[in-house]
Structure 1
């Protein structure tokens, strides 16, 4: 399931921000007191995603695993609170990942196989995924700071999990505060970077967008129950 969670990372961060309280803990890289500007950025970001109930976007994904060649994929994503999402990955590794708010489906067309996992059970396998249902707390789970230096023309932030294990670099459009890039760095040094384009907020997305129909003849694998 690690590949699935890496693919879900952008949605997790959006949900983290949407669920966050108005006041968030923020630290500078040297541990000095946070600047007023950073507080303002975090508060504005929280307000933006608090008001964003759905979105659609195109994305480009690059996965860099230590000791292996980089892999790239493109596709589209749709998201609607709470916990509904649809990722469509194109060539060279086609894949569909859908959550209807209760069950997470991952379909691999090359294997013609569907992996089904109850969403509540899936939440137990990664602390970050708890934000999909709005039960996370950025103040409790993350330290936030600007990345240094700020040279990209966007607002670059680092969310560092207090429990360790992963860091999330976030790139924001300085005008709209839309999430335009995201990099997840795990404890092994593997990175998943996703760049977004053609972002549309608060679009009408019917339930059918997040309904998954098992393809004809596909094998269905049910994730084993958590201990």
Structure 2
């Protein structure tokens, strides 16, 4: 019995230390990705692996919680956060929805925009190889099952999300540039006067 307890203690201590090291490494990488600009390609697959949606665009990110996520194809959509609220603007439809940032906390841009120190304690973090990390929510009611982040050097290169319905969203980041700072004016929620804005949850 004593030997078994000792073996279990060593195993669980090793797992805990590995998870702690993975979280520390990921925190350091995310902290280097505080102000980013680049392009993205987002592909969504259904539970059978069939491609159901593809979008391309550009993004701008400034921690904490400020981002612009511009999809330019197949249709134009702009998602903007000023740090407090999120505006989802369907450009072609001339419609926009504004909601508190907390209501969009599971979107890719929102996840990247939050400080690592406040996000990572909510996940079990493990490594999947060199500069690739898997995050599993500790909350059993989370909207997604796993989140995978990959880096090239110090820059984020890919993100993958498996949701509760079995759909997988894969995002590739290209031409990523790191900046020392980004002006707040870049995150303005101003829209043309002919755009119908619906406010939710305020």
Which residue pairs with 1:9 in the alignment? none
Q: Does 1:86 align with 2:62?
A: no
Question: Deviation at 1:198?
Answer: 1.0
SS in 1 for 2:166: coil
Range that drifts further, 109-118 or 125-134? 125-134
Which residue pairs with 2:160 in the alignment? 183
SS in 2 for 1:33: helix
Q: Does 1:70 align with 2:47?
A: no
Range that drifts further, 84-93 or 43-52? 43-52
RMSD after superposition: 3.0
Which residue pairs with 1:162 in the alignment? 138
Query: Within 5 A, what are the aligned runs for 1:22-101?
Result: 33-34=14-15, 40-66=21-47, 69-101=51-83
Which residue pairs with 1:202 in the alignment? 179
Which residue pairs with 1:23 in the alignment? none
Q: Distance in 1 between matches of 2:119 and 2:181?
A: 27
How many residue pairs get matched? Answer: 186
Question: Deviation at 1:197?
Answer: 1.2
Q: Deviations over 1:11-42 (max 9, x none)?
A: xxxxxxxxxxxxxxxxxxx9783397775554
Residue 191 of structure 2: which of 208, 214, 225 is its match?
214
Q: Distance in 1 between matches of 2:107 and 2:59?
A: 22
SS in 1 for 2:30: helix
Question: Deviation at 1:143?
Answer: 1.1
Q: TM-score of the superposition, structure 2-length normalised?
A: 0.77
Q: Distance in 1 between matches of 2:90 and 2:23?
A: 37
8 Å CA contact 2:89–2:97 kept in 1: the answer is yes
Q: Does 1:116 align with 2:98?
A: yes
SS in 1 for 2:118: coil
Task: Specify which structure has the higher proportion of strand.
Answer: 2
8 Å CA contact 2:100–2:201 kept in 1: the answer is no
- Structure 1, unaligned runs of 5 or more: 1-29
Residue 151 of structure 2: which of 163, 172, 175 is its match?
172
8 Å CA contact 1:75–1:89 kept in 2: the answer is yes
Range that drifts further, 30-39 or 107-116? 30-39
Structure-2 change in CA distance of 1:127 and 1:170 (3 Å): closer
